[in-house]
Homo-oligomer: A and B are copies of this chain.
Amino acid sequence: MTDMTEALPISTGRRGGPPRSEEARLAILRATARLFLERGFGHLSIEGIAAEAGVGKQTIYRWWPGKSDLVAEALIEGFLMPEHFAPSFTGTLRDDLASWMRIVLDFVDDPGHDEMLRSLLAAGTTNPAIGERIRERLGADGDLVHRLEKGVTDGELPPTAPISSIIELLVGAIVLRVFAPSNRDDGEAERLVDVVLGTHTARGQ
């Protein structure tokens, strides 16, 4: 049917028909973000997104399997929680980590973010990509690892320190705080960091 002798565009996605509309894609993600922030994941509906975006429902179903995938992509594209938290490399390990933790906890404890974060968690129970994206936004996958590794080379942490476990504990404490809000006093960020670094005994707590 088609000429086999020429260059053969190896594995081109083109299969006939017009290309996917980027305009529609962005309108959908924007609508998703807007409604998610406004009403939460539980009251998010494909129907509502389609209407808000001025798009047919099929255009959504054509490209996304379900609403949690929409949320995941909106998150990736930065329509949801554009913040990115990274520890600084300017002070001691303990101080850099503590100030990072303080910023994250301030964000998480902000009542204005509560609904959104709980909704994100709800969406995440369905879609692993959302969990990954949240970790990434918290800096847990890159910057945090780097900072801790620098702590090792700087001699602030023993070479045997289980870096990923430390991160797991810190991120876990953050997520738990969204899931089941606990004590919110001012020193909590430092306290958590001190526990995982073993520096609390040295301090006058």
Report A's interface with B, CB cutoff 8 A. 42, 118-119, 121-122, 124-126, 128, 131-132, 134-135, 158, 160-162, 164-166, 168-177, 179-183, 188, 191-192, 194-196, 198, 200-201, 203-205
Contact = CB atoms under 8 A, between A and B. Distances in A.
B122 A125 contact: yes
Most chain B CB neighbours (cut-off 10 Å) among A128, A132, A176, A201: A176
Contact of A175 (B176, B183, B201): B176
A193 to B, nearest CB: 10
A131 B161 contact: no
A126 B175 CA distance: 15
Most chain B CB neighbours (cut-off 10 Å) among A122, A124, A180: A180
B160 A200 contact: yes
Contacts of A205: 160-162
A192 B131 CA distance: 20
20 contacts: A121-B179, A124-B179, A135-B180, A160-B200, A160-B203, A160-B205, A161-B201, A162-B195, A162-B205, A165-B192, A165-B195, A168-B173, A168-B182, A169-B169, A169-B170, A169-B173, A169-B192, A169-B196, A175-B176, A198-B200
Nearest to A182: B168
Given A192-B169, A198-B198, A180 B42 contact: no
Contacts of A172: 169, 171-177
A131 B171 contact: no
Contact of A188 (B121, B165, B180, B181): B165
A122 to B, nearest CB: 4
A160 B204 CA distance: 8
Nearest to A122: B125
Contact of A200 (B162, B174, B175): B162
